Structure 1
Amino acid sequence: MERDISALKRGLEGQFRLGLLSSASVVAPILSLALAERMPLLEQSIRATQLSSLTKALLAHEIDMALVYLEDVTEEDFDTHLLYREQIVIFQATRDPLPRQVSWDDVANLPQCILDCALPKAAHSRLGHCAAKTIRTNNVDVLTAHIASGRYATVLPQSLATYFARIPDIRAVEVTGEGTDAAVGLATIRNELKSTPSTALLEIVRSPETIAAIQDALDLYRQFQPDGS
């Protein structure tokens, strides 16, 4: 019996390398913690970078799976597994009355601080037409400092509301129109044999516990929605 347990533990050893976009930084720990519980001897690494770097890393076998916007990867090269869909939201710190929803035209008139690598391509394209002054960064601390000042807004997926939870008077307003709803999921090289950790993770993401934890992260922004119509 002891020999069987030892063999099982050896079978769970190894490495698992996950790549992700900044937009998935809240959900990634949910997955890695669940995987660590299932495979406690597994050595994990989590790498956040831009989409082009993630796809190159997958094809070069430098990472095992990537957590990405599914609309932004090609079906010819990658197998994908949908985890959830996200609403694009504009966050700003203000005491002024706000509606619960705005259009891209409304967004374009706001001074913004934009977190690179945190939005799908469709939303990036819309933000490219912003008339107001825009600051771009790849650093979360820089982003939150600008939002806390009350002088800038930011457009992000709903799960990143946790970045701003401690900012007084933070508000989350849904953006409506094309490019405001995105599918997030796991991508692997197409038709390639999955590793044991990859297969285990695909099972984990279907569990009720994981689904509930992801939904809790997605629902946080609702606490900051304005009362306006």
Structure 2
Amino acid sequence: MLDKLEYLMALSRERHFGRAAETCGVTQPTLSAGIKQLEEQLGVLLVQRGSRFIGFTPEGERTLDWARRIVSDSRAMRQEISALKRGLTGRLKIAAIPTALAMVAAITTPYRARHRDVRFTILSQNSIQVLTQLENLEIDAGITYLDNEPLGRVNTVPLYQERYQLLTSADAPLGNRERVTWTEVAKVPLCLLTPDMQNRRIIDELLRAAGGDPQPTLESNSVVVLFAHVRTGRWATVMPSKLAETLGLTDTIRAIPIVDPEAVHTIGLVVPAREPMTPLTAALVAQAKQVAKTMNETALASA
């Protein structure tokens, strides 16, 4: 039955029979037949069909919830038995929002030092994609905002507080300031992340509250693109302070704290709210907690 539950989950992700079959490594007739067999076993219709995939019935949606739980437990069991025999092995898939990508190495590097046979896949995703992929078991963990938009059924490990800075040329109108307000920033032509990014939604809200009308001169879903433009000395952006520190500044570019108000949001690790966790995920949570403790101690020491 596990393979049929995997088919159902793939169909939920892809919303298309052909693409779902491809991700499962089977033909479309095989996937369709497997789902029909599952319907016969359960005695209910799970999928609304026409000439193409339409959606799931209420029974199908509930079956999906069970499928995710059963498949997750099955994977956890296989990992735990394998770990008892050979130690931690396998691949961890982590999706992180663009503004948090730079700090992923703070977790993965000490993790790999302890578990040399674990490999990693790191994906850049927006916050909605992080949670969707986590629910669909496409990733093992995510790094995203914890306190701004609903998270759903996840366990969390707070990592650090995100604060914001104006990155601009030293010879720009605000370039010689030690601090700037959101009201002042609202008057600066900015390049920002695209609206599907939660960071952009946060910044837009702050700019509107300060009387501005966010109309960026450039948008991108990549912080590297934003930073590359700012480095030319002809662009400005709003960026989390920790990210700005990681990317590094030139002699002509300044990172100026934005105050009044000093906006703060919590970034953290999210994992499925399921017990037991897979051994790989459990070790990741333990490592994240250690990193968070170290970061908090460093922040207190420098305060």
Range into which the TM-score falls when normalised by the shorter chain? 0.7 to 0.9
The range that moved more, 188-197 or 41-50, is 188-197
SS of the aligned residue for 1:81 comes to strand
Q: Determine the C-alpha separation between the residues in 1 that align with 2:297 and 2:109.
A: 12
Distance in 1 of aligned mates of 2:118 and 2:153: 27
Q: Do the aligned residues in 1 keep the contact of 2:155 with 2:270 (CA within 8 Å)? A: yes
SS in 2 for 1:119: helix
Asked if structure 2 preserves the Cα contact closer than 8 Å seen for 1:107 and 1:130, the reply is: no
2:199 paired residue number: 119
Alignment match, 1:71: 147
Could you tell me how far apart the structure 2 residues matched to 1:215 and 1:112 are? Answer: 31
Q: How does 1:207-226 map to 2 (within 5 A)?
A: 207=290, 211-212=294-295
Within 2, Cα distance between the matches of 1:62 and 1:149?
38
The alignment's TM-score, normalised by the length of structure 1, stands at 0.79
CA separation of 1:154/1:192 partners in 2, compared to 1, >3 Å: closer, same or farther? farther
CA RMSD of aligned residues (A): 3.0
Residues 1:146 and 2:226 aligned together: no
Change (3 A) 1:69 1:212: closer
SS at match of 2:137: coil
73 and 58 in structure 1: CA distance in 2 versus 1, 3 angstrom threshold: farther
CA deviations on 1:113-135 (whole Å, 9 max, x unpaired) are: 11343726432323464466531
> Aligned pair 1:51/2:127, yes or no?
yes
- Seen in structure 2, the aligned counterparts of structure 1 residues 188 and 209 have a Cα distance that, compared at 3 Å, is closer
Structure 1 residue 177: deviation in Å?
3.9
Q: Secondary structure at the match of 2:132?
A: helix
Larger CA deviation: 167-176 vs 103-112: 167-176
> Which runs of 5 or more structure 2 residues have no equivalent in the other structure?
1-81
Measured in 2, the distance between the counterparts of 1:198 and 1:184 equals 18
Larger helix proportion, structure 1 or 2? 2
**Structure with higher RCO (Cα < 8 A, 6+ apart):** 1
Kindly tell me the number of residue pairs found equivalent between the two proteins: 212
Which residue of the partner structure matches residue 226 of structure 1?
Answer: none
**Change in CA separation of 1:45 and 1:145 when aligned onto 2, cut-off 3 Å:** closer
Q: SS at the partner of 1:193? A: coil
User: Counting strand residues as a fraction of each chain, which structure ranks higher?
Assistant: 1
Matched, 1:135 2:218: yes
The answer to whether structure 1 residue 176 and structure 2 residue 259 are counterparts is: yes
Shift of 1:73: 4.5
Match of 1:102 in 2: 180
What is the letter of the counterpart of residue 228 of structure 2?
Answer: A
Give the whole-Å Cα distance in 2 for the aligned partners of 1:86 and 1:58: 22
- Measure the CA separation in 2 of the matches of 1:149 and 1:167: 10
What is the letter of the counterpart of residue 217 of structure 2?
T
Stretch moving more, 123-132 or 146-155: 123-132
Could you say which structure has the larger radius of gyration? 2
1:194 to 2:273 alignment: no
Q: Which residue identity lines up with residue 17 of structure 1 in the other structure? A: K
For 1:75 and 1:209, the matched residues in 2 are separated by: 20
Deviation at 1:149, TM superposition (A): 2.6
